[in-house]
Amino acid sequence: MFSKILIANRGEIACRVIHTARRLGIRTVAVYSDADRDALHVTLADEAVHIGPAVASESYLSKQKIIAAAQRTGAEAIHPGYGFLSENADFAEALEAAGLVFVGPSPASIRAMGLKDAAKALMERAGVPIVPGYHGDAQEPGFLAEQADGIGFPVLIKARAGGGGKGMRRVDRREDFAASLEAARREAKSAFGDDAVLIEKYLIKPRHIEIQVFGDSYGNAVHLFERDCSLQRRHQKVIEEAPAPGMTEEMRSAMGEAAVRAARAIDYRGAGTVEFIADVSDGLSPDRFFFMEMNTRLQVEHPVTEAIAGVDLVEWQLRVASGEPLPKSQDELAINGWAFEARIYAEDPSRGFLPATGTLAHLRFPEGDVRIDAGVREGDTITPHYDPLIAKLTVHAPDRQSALAKLTRGLEQTQVAGTTTNLDFLIRLSRQPDFAAGHPDTGLIDRDVEALTSARQPDDGALAVAAVAEAGGFAGATGGDPWLSLGPWQLWGEANRPVTLHYDRGQTHCRVTVKGRALFSVALGDRSIPLRLLAGDRKARRIEIDGRQSNVTVFEASNGTTLFMDGQTHHFHRHDPLDGGEEASAGGDRLIAPMPGLVKIIRVREGDVVAKGQALIVMEAMKMELTLTAMRDGIVESLNVGEGDQTSESAVLLSLRPEDAT
Active-site residue numbers?
A: 297
Residue 182, CA atoms < 13 Å, CB-side half-sphere: 6
Distance CA 315, CA 580 (A): 55
Residue 615 pairs in a beta bridge with: 629
Distance CA 216, CA 320 (A): 6
**Measured CA angle at 269 (ends 263, 274), to 5 deg:** 35
Contact 357, 419 (CB under 8 A): yes
Cis peptide bond prior to 154, omega within 30° of 0: yes
Return the SS3 of 123: helix
| Separation of CA 171 from chain center | 24
Q: What are the helix (H) ranges across 552-594?
A: 581-584
Distance CA 417, CA 363 (A): 7
Contact 380, 362 (CB under 8 A): no
Distance CA 363, CA 555 (A): 10
Please choose, from the candidates 391, 389, 424, 382, the residue with its C-alpha nearest in 3D space to the C-alpha of residue 595. Answer: 382
| Separation of CA 455 from chain center | 19
- The continuous run of DSSP H or E covering 151 comes out as helix 141-151
If one counts every other C-beta atom within 10 angstroms of the C-beta of residue 286, the result is: 14
Angstrom CA distances, 91 to 100, 111, 328, 471, stand at 11, 11, 29, 58
Please choose, from the candidates 131, 153, 286, 271, the residue with its C-alpha nearest in 3D space to the C-alpha of residue 215. Answer: 271
The DSSP 8-state label assigned to residue 165 in this structure reads T
Rounded (10°) angle between helices 177-192 and 141-151: 120
As separate numbers, helices (DSSP H) first and strands (DSSP E) second, the chain gives 20, 39
Please choose, from the candidates 191, 560, 645, 503, the residue with its C-alpha nearest in 3D space to the C-alpha of residue 358. Answer: 560
Residue 261, Cβ density class (10 Å: 0-12 exposed, 13-18 middle, ≥19 buried): middle
203 φ, ψ (degrees, to nearest 5): -75, 135
The DSSP 8-state label assigned to residue 175 in this structure reads G
Residue 609 pairs in a beta bridge with: 635
- The continuous run of DSSP H or E covering 250 comes out as helix 249-265
Residue type, 131: V
Residue type, 282: D
